[in-house]
Chains A and B, each alone.
Chain A
Amino acid sequence: MPVSSRLVALIVPFVVIAIFWLMARREAQRSQDPTRKSYFERNGTTLGIVFILLVAFWTLFLVVLPYLYMVVESFHPTLPPPKRGGPEDVLTLAQYKSLVVLPTGGTNVTHMGAFVFSIVASIAVTALNFAICYPLAYYMAQAGSAQKVRLVMLGLIVPYWVNEILRAFSLRLLLASKGLINQALMAIGLTDAPIDFLGNNVGLYVGLSYAYLLIMIFPLYNAIESLDKNQIEAARDLGAPWWRIHWDVVIPYAKPGIASGCTMVFMLCAGSLAAPLFLGGPRTLWFTSVIYNFFFQAFNWPRGAAYSFILLIACIALVMLMLRLFKVSLGETIK
């Protein structure tokens, strides 16, 4: 019987750890530093073991192995449970191919469309959020008095205690055809019939933007806050117009914060499930909704896994590209 691919996935991380451990051992032997303490000397045996067990459980069983298993699963065919591990359970690229090609031979327009739409819409929402949040972040960090900033901060945080679902619900109440905005528009006579905000995806964009405002504003605020006010003063004294001050002084300085905020918002948008489910139009398909349906309606896990992996790769690639363009390292982004 050939070695199961799932078993290989189980062993890989342990091999990596063993290699690193051996390298560490060799390095420790080579360095002749007498003050150097071994790990167990530094933490005590009991604590040392507890630390290692905790971290090993987390990183191996909650992070690395599930990811590896998902990837391995995505290279398997869709089979009923009794046939799993049987002779038909071979490695295959069928699940990946199905994103592009339909079983009947045509192009899979629906799923590719959902994929492209999710990515493009996420980028648009990220840009929108940056535009909305930047002025407030700048105000909080540089212009406002300490007391006002505290108040603004409080005002920012309180709505975010209400969870994502209820916030989506509140937007739905507002934007529905019987909702307050349509009532108001009809009352002042701007339209005769209600506008279908949810059907034409306005609800979706607003919902995504609304959900992740805070994620954008705090990194921006943190980055701009440490900028020395004198730099802005100097630029102003030298006669720079306000937009030059932002373009040439504030934004270059706040680049890591901007990259961090944009990365987080983009990732959260592309991976969001609630806003598309509750605020998207009936014909709108978000890529995560496609994945959701593979799991809960079609019970096609390998395909769901393959699509998830594609989404993950696409997100990471885009983020890396963005960091490259901004010339920011990943370490600066996550703090």
Chain B
Amino acid sequence: MKSAWVLRGMIGFYIFLFFLYLFGPLMVMGITAFNTPAYPQAWPFEEFTLDWFVKLWNHRAMMEGLQNSIIIGLGVVALSVPAGLAASIIMSQIYHRARSLYYLVTISPLLTPGVIIGISTVIFWKDVLSVTEFTKATFYDGMILAVFGQSSFISAYCLLIFMARLTRFDRAQEEAALDLGASYPQVFWHILLPFLKPAIVSAVVIAFLSSFENYNTTTFAILADKTLVTVLAGEVRQGTTPALSALAVIIIGISLVGALVYEVLKRREQARTVRAQRAAILAERVEAEAAA
């Protein structure tokens, strides 16, 4: 009895340590965002201030970077979600001997360090776009290359998300639709796509977030432009200012709200499915009784 109690205490202590490791640095950083000294300092706490948030707001490079990050994120979503979807559908239909090669090629960006993806993207597109002056002037652009570089591996994330969902697809649904006279494209638009909707939503979210916070690939592919993360990296390299802590506080705040909303929505959806199931069981019972 006593050993079980000790064990539970040890597990609790371990989980406490784990989360201290996880949250400790962030909390300390959070405190520095509200403290006056210009060198980020959590202790002693001199005076409460919101100046660092104002400084952040007035930081032009960061705001420009934020804008670029959002544009690139949208570009990546527009490119990699359809690419991942198409790749997953072809994966399910492909000629079997080509399949392992196809799988290797589509998955390889996940096994490649991001730095290398960034470098190879720049080397390739610089060569290809240098063919004419016009293409070089118009398309050899950090924003476009960042979208290309990031999409290289984010499409693979999307592919995995879609593949996981597709394995649960009931082919009988497709056959039923075909027997009822639907064409194959109709099956795609009216059966497969609605079935994949949850996967599409998660692919969009994951694609945007991975793009937004990517550093390794972007720092090469972005060329002379900047994203929020590359600006941040520059700031951190140069020195330290509590304005960065302020940014982190904002991000944590947004993500906490996001997590809460997600949790509430999920609970609500669960409640709805439970209610629907109950209603279905009830209806069946009523029907059975009526038949009897």
Contact = CB atoms under 8 A, between A and B. Distances in A.
Contacts of A335: 160, 164
A162 B251 contact: yes
A66 B101 contact: no
Given A58-B155, A273-B215, A311-B116, A167 B255 contact: no
A291 B115 contact: yes
Contacts of B42: 173, 180
B229 A58 contact: no
B240 A173 contact: yes
A157 B259 contact: yes
Choose among A139, A273, A292 the residue with the greatest number of B CB atoms under 10 Å from its CB.
Answer: A273
A6 interface: yes
Given A136-B14, A139-B11, A162 B252 contact: yes
A155 B98 CA distance: 42
Contacts of B32: 173
B106 A170 contact: no
A315 B110 CA distance: 12
Band of interface residues on A: 35 or more
Given A159-B22, A169-B240, A277-B233, A308 B115 contact: yes
Interface of A: 6, 16, 20, 23-24, 27, 39, 41-44, 46-47, 50-52, 54-55, 57-59, 61-67, 69-70, 73, 132, 135-136, 139, 143, 152, 154-159, 161-174, 176, 178, 180, 183, 210, 213, 263, 267-268, 270-274, 277-278, 288, 291-292, 295, 301, 304-305, 308-309, 311-312, 315-316, 319, 331, 334-335
A23 B18 CA distance: 54
Contact of A167 (B19, B26, B80, B114): B26
A46 B186 CA distance: 12
A174 B213 contact: no
Given A171-B25, A172-B240, A70 B185 contact: no
Band of interface residues on B: 35 or more
6 contacts: A20-B101, A162-B26, A166-B29, A169-B244, A170-B25, A292-B115
Given A55-B90, A70-B120, A210 B111 contact: no
Contact of A164 (B82, B117, B213, B255): B213
A11 to B, nearest CB: 13
Nearest to B111: A267
Interface stretch (B49-57, B121-129, B196-204): B121-129
A41 B184 contact: yes
A173 B123 contact: no
A172 B216 contact: no
A305 B232 CA distance: 26
Contacts of A304: 119
A274 B115 contact: no
Contacts of A155: 19, 22-23
